[in-house]
Amino acid sequence: MTRPTHEQLALRLRDAYAQGAVAPMRDGLDPVDVAGAYAVQAINTRFWQAQGRRIVGRKAGLTARAVQQQLGVDQPDFGVLFEDMQIADGGTLDPARSLQPKVEAEIALVLGADLPDADTTPQAVAAAVRSVHAAIEIVDSRIADWKISFADTVADNGSSAFFVMAEEGRSMAGTDLYAAGMVMEIDGRIASLGAGAAVLGHPLNAAAWLASTLAARGEPLKAGDILLTGALGPMVALVPGNHVRAIVGGIGTVSFNFGKV
């Protein structure tokens, strides 16, 4: 049986957005094939850019050690954030635009300076940050039943879908990302709890890893980019009609509705 090419795997994932989730891609990607998975992601990124989609930042994923161990890897992953993935704070996401969505609360950083160094430190990230925001990521998978390997989620753009960022941001000065507690509510009930320390020990660690990794790939982060630093607590499945609100201590509050516009 002929092994599918990276181009064929990329097309399979693109088609899944409209046609429904597909089986794990074991036929074309070893579960821990880092290079192959990012090659598939890059093919789709270039395709979507050619279609007119604009990159506005990146997301870090797999920032919790427990999740890394579950997938048999020792590193986070990243995906691309496109402008059309952003939902306004307090806005509405039509459930028809997703397949099997889940939500997680995060801390978002907006850069005020470039980060071109392949050895970017957390301190360098802090100095480059223009504003800090409470955020919600709506993750989704084009892999059926979320039966993902590391390679599956990387190839699938980090299992990304949409994100919401609080309109009002804070300065890094005097903001404690490490100790920031998080409460995520769904329909007014507590659905997830967490803290900044859950993100690779500190959200700036995740941002530094992301900046260094992208710089080494020749795709450095730039001023104005949005960084989603990783989940502060467990992700929760969405059902139509949900109202989601996340409160991140000392940083802000953000919300959206999961229902027809």
Q: Is the pLDDT of residue 241 over 80?
A: yes
Give yes or no for a contact between 252 and 83, defined as CB atoms under 8 angstroms apart.
no
Instruction: For residue 1, tell me if it sits in a domain.
Output: no
Place of tokens 């507590």: 190
Instruction: For residue 133, tell me if it sits in a domain.
Output: yes
At 207 the pLDDT is 98
**pLDDT of 82-114, one tens digit each?**
999 999 999 999 999 999 999 999 999 999 999
Say how many CA atoms lie within 13 Å of 69 toward its Cβ: 3
At 261 the pLDDT is 65
Please measure the distance between the N-terminal and C-terminal CA atoms of the chain and give it in whole angstroms.
45
**pLDDT of 37-72, one tens digit each?**
999 999 999 999 999 999 999 999 988 876 777 667
Q: The domain spanning residue 28 has which CATH number? A: 3.90.850.10
Q: Could you tell me the CA-to-CA distances from 132 to 3, 25, 177, 228 in Å, in that order?
A: 44, 36, 9, 10
- The answer for residues whose C-beta is within 8 angstroms of residue 28's C-beta and 6 or more apart is 3, 4, 5, 6, 8, 9, 36
Query: Global pTM?
Result: 0.95
Give yes or no for a contact between 235 and 192, defined as CB atoms under 8 angstroms apart.
yes
Q: What is the mean pLDDT of the chain?
A: 95
Q: pLDDT-derived band of residue 186, with 50, 70 and 90 as boundaries?
A: very high
Structurally, the chain folds into a number of domains equal to 1
Instruction: For residue 181, tell me if it sits in a domain.
Output: yes
How many angstroms separate the CA atoms of 256 and 138, rounded?
A: 10
At 75 the pLDDT is 84
At 64 the pLDDT is 80
At 237 the pLDDT is 95
Place of tokens 């957005």: 17
Instruction: For residue 201, tell me if it sits in a domain.
Output: yes
At 167 the pLDDT is 95
Q: Which domain holds residue 244?
A: 6-258
Nearest CA to 184 among 174, 196, 175, 194?
194
Q: Work out the average pLDDT over 196-222.
A: 97
